[in-house]
Amino acid sequence: MIEIIGIAILVNFWTHWFQPIQWFKDKVGWYALPEMFSFLNCTKCLGFWSGLVVTQNLYQAAAISLLAYLIDFVIYWIEVKRDEL
């Protein structure tokens, strides 16, 4: 269970939440990658594929993808509510 949560959090760090990684992605030109690699910027897709590679279990990969999406949704919701105040 801890592994699933950890992978979901790392996926959120990579996709858009942790600022030092975003600075690195901007410098390298990560966002200019071809459309074929767009799954590396999607929380759900990256969560599923990284979960599938790490756990080699389809159900756990789906759980990681769902959990990564829920974490992303909660972070976005908190940021929107904070800006409304």
| pLDDT at residue 35, as a whole number | 67
* Domain span at 43: 2-84
Total domain count, the chain: 1
| pLDDT at residue 33, as a whole number | 67
Q: What is the DSSP letter of 33?
A: S
Of 66 and 35, which is predicted with more confidence?
66
Residues belonging to the chain: 85
| pTM greater than the 0.85 cutoff | no
CA distances from 28 to 18, 22, 71 (A): 16, 10, 26
pLDDT tens digits, 7-61:
998 888 888 777 777 787 777 776 666 666 666 778 888 899 999 999 999 999 9
pLDDT tens digits, 32-42:
666 666 667 78
